[in-house]
Structure 1
Amino acid sequence: MSDQPALSVAPPVPFHIAKSNICTDQSGGTGSGLFAGRRFGAGEQIAVFKRPLVGSLETERISDTCANCYVWTEGSSGTRLYVPEGTEVQKCAGCHRFRYCSKACQKEAWNRGHKHECKLLKPLIGRELPKAFLACMELLIRRKHDLISDEDWEMLCRLPDHIDDFKRTASYENMVLMAVGAGEFSSSQNMFDQDFIAAMYGRVLSNSLTLITPTLDPLGIILDPTLCRINHSCDPNAYIMMDGAEVSIRTLRPIKKDKEIYISYIDTTNPYHKRQAELQSRWFFTCRCIKCQKGATLQEDNWTVPANYALKPDDMESFAGSQKEVFSIYEKLQRLSNVETLVPALEQALQICHESKCWPLYRQPYAALRDDLIVNLLSVGKYKAVWAQCAKRYKHITPKLYPVPFHPVRVVQTWQMAMLAAYLASTEDGIEAPGVNMGLIAMMLVKQVLDAASFSHGPDSAFMKSVKSKADEMIEELKRSVGTPNKEIMDKELENQRDMLIEMGDWAKDGEELSELKKLAMVERAFSV
């Protein structure tokens, strides 16, 4: 045996930055991207960042979200069990703008730069400031006080500012005014000239990613010179997940060494032309991913037509007109806040799609309208109607739009459905149908989430821990009521309840109330069992 000490081998770097060819700007140029430093399997973490360089909350979230760890206190119940019960945020006594959930969070934010920012924000008390304005202001202040490293600052300044692209938009003048304000209120005009500040504001607008909770609730924006190097693809192989302030890059499918890492900036379930238009208007590039190279020929652009029917040019023109009309309705509905008006409007929009006889349930915005209907029905306590819509989505839509079992959207939707099932099992006014046990359906759904969450969120994430805790709670409750169940019998019964749930997927008929739904198929199945 050799007496030489063993050499320590450094682990491979998880990623590196290199030239990318997937996204082209107005001039046909391309930028750089992140590439895998080794092979990664599906559902694996590529890299984790303690926190992004900058995070900025939506105006609506400033009053109920910690500005340091991004815990959303409104989410301390229901599906957001990862939020500690009783969590509250207290307003900063200086700026009266940001709030913190603990002294530790306040101290961390103070040392990171709020001590310089606080007094500058004080004159702006009561004024509503855009998240991009606050993010730009924070960047300038922290750099002025040497709280951003030279390396990070140089990487940040190499991000595209898209100033020439912004000049061609109607929002350019407002953007310049915001940039001037950010420079003035950060007291950094002597260090950075107006053009530089405008360019930095452009970088914030065109490079920021969405700040999210583990259940994908949007809270604001984040900007980080490394994370912002990840390019978009409409067929992404990775995604960004957040656990408080911690940001991780996780894989959707295996990625080979030296292959580029892609995430999606938009809802990639939209039709081809809708995706391209959104990318052009928001990020000023044309996507050249494998999916977009196939144009409007894939699932997102399919219509339902009889097998032996040959589509005519007039048909396609009619379909395009219907799609434009429904997207227009959907965008208008996004601006409504009155639930009493919104729910019937959403139901009517769903009925338009349904009555077209050619619109697949999973084609947008049909699916998105249903998502919004579910959220709004929940807000008014129509839980039975919500359940019927969730079951329809579970059976017909989610598997088509998110075929990867641990896709974060699929996992979160299943988790939300599990919590609704648990609630319906606990109330006398629950779902009544022969053979249905909502408690076991809830357990079956929680088990599905438990199997997937270690891949979607990570085995040590707060979300995973909350799911595990709920699963343990359900098992203990089952033991108290019927004793320790036989595993084989229990697995069989959970599978039977899943079949029941699949049957429920056909209860909801667009435009009908749950009380009018026909349950004949469920009754027949119950008797056959």
Structure 2
Amino acid sequence: MDFNHLDTVKDPVLGNGLAASKDLSAGEPIIKISEPFLIVVEKDALEKVCSFCLIESDASSLKRCTGCKVVRYCTPTCQKADWKLIHKNECSLLQRLPGIPPTPVRALYQALLRYVRPTFELDSRSASLEHHVQDLKKDRKRWDEIVLQAKGALEFSKTPADKMDMVTRLLCIMATNAFRATLPDDTPIGLCYEPTLALANHSCMPNAFIMFDGRSISLMTLNPIKTGEQIFISYVDFTQSRDQRRGELKQRYFFDCECEKCKYSRTPYRVCKETTAVPSEKLALLYDYKTLVSQADEREHEIQAIRQDLNDLKQEIYVAHSLIDLSKTTASETERLNFLKQAISDLSLYKNHKLFALPPYSTVLDELYLTYIDNGHLTSALILLLFIFLNCDIYNWPQPNHPIRVTRLFTIARLLKYASSLEPATLEQTLPFIPREILTGIDFIDATHTILILVNELAPLSHGQGTRFIGQVELELREVEEVQRLRGGVGKALQKWQSEGNTAVDGRNIASQIFTGLKTLAGFAFEVIGKQNL
């Protein structure tokens, strides 16, 4: 572990925390941990990721453990490494059990087997962390579940019965301090417990974020951070409403958030205005930062002008959240789509005033986009995602190097690649409400190439140098460059724009024209919502 950029601090209000030991620029790794304290693949991801290196693959390419037939590996090397690390102690247990234990139970007995034996005492790094045992005991149902899980882990790990209090405390420590392990696109795949990073305090306006690259975990800067400045991450989805954020933080972590975003009810537009962005002359062709700040200011004034009208929407907002929940539980994809369309209709005030980034409107748009993805309507998903990126994402995640922003751009590139594979007549059939001259006016191969150039520039700042995500981006970029080579002409101009920036006039003009076309496509998002059924 590299601790060169990290100090521990004692905050009089927040308690233990982490601070920068030197000036850090945006997109810089603060600390990288190649082997976290504990990382466990959750049940729903066991068939799609290697249980050691956490590489995502289709189930047919991952080989099951021949003993327990539960965990899977991408190579014999990973299988041997995991066997030595923990699986030799877990395999026979998984064979005996009627089902796969819950992820917290698996994580707890792995921690007991790896770190607690033979002394059966808490390791020093865990013992210093907050456990909230007394707070958790106040919720009888929740506490009973914790005790039940602790008993299971105690028995599975053959820990002495008189160590039950210690085992329960360790479970509470892990529940309070663990992170979601994710793929590069933020898809959750498991649980990661790393005491060093658990010291980072929370803010709904974080200046850093945690990034996974297989088993490796990094703490990366979002904003420039000065020496001695405290490092904040977000424990929850900070794009939610203030009430949702505060409710989740109180329920899970037992504190009232008093960050500036919560304390002063700051909107995404206000936060965007106050955020220092990473300069990018290429990205400025898609949206100009000064124009963005000006538009954020206009939206902020709009919110103040209709504040009472927004406050009167409490019932509609409650119904919208209910419809989102219903859309996730229904087995009918048509019902799912209809629930979300109803939510959009009920929140028409947001649309009328172009307040697309405010929750729950942005959440409904995301769910609509995912619905089209899940049902193979990829061109409709492309239009929606372009709209979401330009009207929600750039405000909700105002730093261009935020990993969600960068992975969204990468997804846009992949959807453009799909659109480029379609015959013009087929593309027109999938989007009949978009005029033919607009569709034929966009070269989707050039558009794919251009967006990938943006992603390639931003990825080292969002995901870190040498990561698997960067490898994926570079592979896609090489493929489109080869297609462009065979076509001749435009590809070379874009490659020159990639290496020389906006001084490469021909490439800059091509990129600018493409971005204009994509913004035009984004303008048809509500035609997609209104006319595209499943």
Considering the TM-score relative to the shorter chain, is it more than 0.5? Answer: yes
Structure 1 position 305, deviation (Å): 9.8
Q: 2:154 aligns with which of 136, 158, 183?
A: 183
CA distance, structure 2, for counterparts of residue 164 and residue 48 of structure 1: 33
Question: Is the CA contact (8 Å cut-off) linking 2:356 and 2:392 kept in structure 1?
Answer: yes
Question: Is the CA contact (8 Å cut-off) linking 1:408 and 1:456 kept in structure 2?
Answer: yes
Task: Kindly provide the amino acid, as one letter, of the partner of residue 49 in structure 1.
Answer: I
Please give the residue correspondences for 1:366-377 in structure 2 after superposition, counting only pairs within 5 Å. Answer: 366-377=361-372
Task: Kindly provide the amino acid, as one letter, of the partner of residue 43 in structure 2.
Answer: T
Name the structure 2 match of 1:45: 29
Instruction: Please state whether the residue corresponding to 1:406 is helix, strand or coil.
Output: coil
Question: Is the CA contact (8 Å cut-off) linking 1:57 and 1:221 kept in structure 2?
Answer: yes
Please give the residue correspondences for 1:61-140 in structure 2 after superposition, counting only pairs within 5 Å. Answer: 61-74=45-58, 88-124=61-97, 126-140=98-112
Name the structure 2 match of 1:479: 485
- Give the direction of change, closer, same or farther, for the CA distance of 1:308–1:363 in structure 2 (3 Å limit): closer
Question: Is the CA contact (8 Å cut-off) linking 1:300 and 1:364 kept in structure 2?
Answer: no
Question: Is the CA contact (8 Å cut-off) linking 1:210 and 1:218 kept in structure 2?
Answer: yes
Instruction: Please state whether the residue corresponding to 1:416 is helix, strand or coil.
Output: helix
Structure 1 position 15, deviation (Å): 0.9
Give the gaps of 5 or more residues in structure 1: 1-10, 23-29, 75-85, 516-529
1:387-440 C-alpha deviation (Å, 9 max, x unpaired)? 221121122111111221111110001100100001110111226524111111
Tell me the TM-score normalized by structure 2. Answer: 0.84
Tell me the TM-score normalized by structure 1. Answer: 0.84
Question: Is the CA contact (8 Å cut-off) linking 2:9 and 2:16 kept in structure 1?
Answer: yes
Q: 2:128 aligns with which of 153, 158, 162?
A: 158
Q: 2:321 aligns with which of 302, 327, 337?
A: 327
Task: Kindly provide the amino acid, as one letter, of the partner of residue 430 in structure 1.
Answer: L
Aligned pairs, number: 482
Question: Is the CA contact (8 Å cut-off) linking 1:273 and 1:296 kept in structure 2?
Answer: no
CA distance, structure 2, for counterparts of residue 201 and residue 470 of structure 1: 42
Instruction: Please state whether the residue corresponding to 2:313 is helix, strand or coil.
Output: helix
Instruction: Please state whether the residue corresponding to 2:88 is helix, strand or coil.
Output: helix
CA distance, structure 2, for counterparts of residue 257 and residue 308 of structure 1: 36
CA distance, structure 1, for counterparts of residue 445 and residue 299 of structure 2: 36
CA distance, structure 1, for counterparts of residue 192 and residue 443 of structure 2: 43
Please give the residue correspondences for 1:218-297 in structure 2 after superposition, counting only pairs within 5 Å. Answer: 218-295=188-265
CA distance, structure 1, for counterparts of residue 349 and residue 265 of structure 2: 27
CA distance, structure 2, for counterparts of residue 227 and residue 455 of structure 1: 19
- Give the direction of change, closer, same or farther, for the CA distance of 1:128–1:340 in structure 2 (3 Å limit): farther
CA distance, structure 2, for counterparts of residue 477 and residue 308 of structure 1: 47
Structure 1 position 498, deviation (Å): 0.5
Structure 1 position 112, deviation (Å): 1.4
Instruction: Please state whether the residue corresponding to 1:178 is helix, strand or coil.
Output: helix
Name the structure 1 match of 2:470: 464
Greater displacement, 331-340 / 170-179: 331-340
Question: Is the CA contact (8 Å cut-off) linking 2:174 and 2:193 kept in structure 1?
Answer: yes
Name the structure 2 match of 1:344: 338
Task: Kindly provide the amino acid, as one letter, of the partner of residue 84 in structure 2.
Answer: N
Structure 1 position 213, deviation (Å): 0.7
Identical aligned residues as a percent: 26
Pair 1:513-2:507 in alignment: no
Task: Kindly provide the amino acid, as one letter, of the partner of residue 319 in structure 2.
Answer: E
Task: Kindly provide the amino acid, as one letter, of the partner of residue 370 in structure 1.
Answer: L
1:261-299 C-alpha deviation (Å, 9 max, x unpaired)? 111111111222221111111221122223223235664
The structure richer in helix per residue is 2
Name the structure 1 match of 2:280: none
- Give the direction of change, closer, same or farther, for the CA distance of 1:438–1:514 in structure 2 (3 Å limit): farther
Structure 1 position 211, deviation (Å): 0.4
Name the structure 2 match of 1:524: none
Instruction: Please state whether the residue corresponding to 1:255 is helix, strand or coil.
Output: coil
Structure 1 position 212, deviation (Å): 0.4
1:53-81 C-alpha deviation (Å, 9 max, x unpaired)? 1112221111222111111214xxxxxxx
Task: Kindly provide the amino acid, as one letter, of the partner of residue 398 in structure 2.
Answer: P
Question: Is the CA contact (8 Å cut-off) linking 1:330 and 1:365 kept in structure 2?
Answer: no
Greater displacement, 466-475 / 244-253: 466-475
Q: 1:451 aligns with which of 451, 454, 457?
A: 457
Question: Is the CA contact (8 Å cut-off) linking 1:326 and 1:365 kept in structure 2?
Answer: yes
Greater displacement, 378-387 / 246-255: 378-387
- Give the direction of change, closer, same or farther, for the CA distance of 1:413–1:207 in structure 2 (3 Å limit): same
CA distance, structure 2, for counterparts of residue 157 and residue 460 of structure 1: 34
Question: Is the CA contact (8 Å cut-off) linking 2:261 and 2:267 kept in structure 1?
Answer: no
Pair 1:13-2:4 in alignment: yes
Considering only aligned residues, what root-mean-square deviation do their CA atoms show, in Å? 2.8
Name the structure 2 match of 1:6: none
Task: Kindly provide the amino acid, as one letter, of the partner of residue 152 in structure 2.
Answer: G
Structure 1 position 304, deviation (Å): 7.0
Task: Kindly provide the amino acid, as one letter, of the partner of residue 220 in structure 1.
Answer: G
Task: Kindly provide the amino acid, as one letter, of the partner of residue 516 in structure 2.
Answer: D
Task: Kindly provide the amino acid, as one letter, of the partner of residue 474 in structure 2.
Answer: K
Name the structure 1 match of 2:398: 403
Instruction: Please state whether the residue corresponding to 2:211 is helix, strand or coil.
Output: strand
CA distance, structure 2, for counterparts of residue 12 and residue 508 of structure 1: 46
Instruction: Please state whether the residue corresponding to 1:391 is helix, strand or coil.
Output: helix
CA distance, structure 1, for counterparts of residue 524 and residue 245 of structure 2: 32
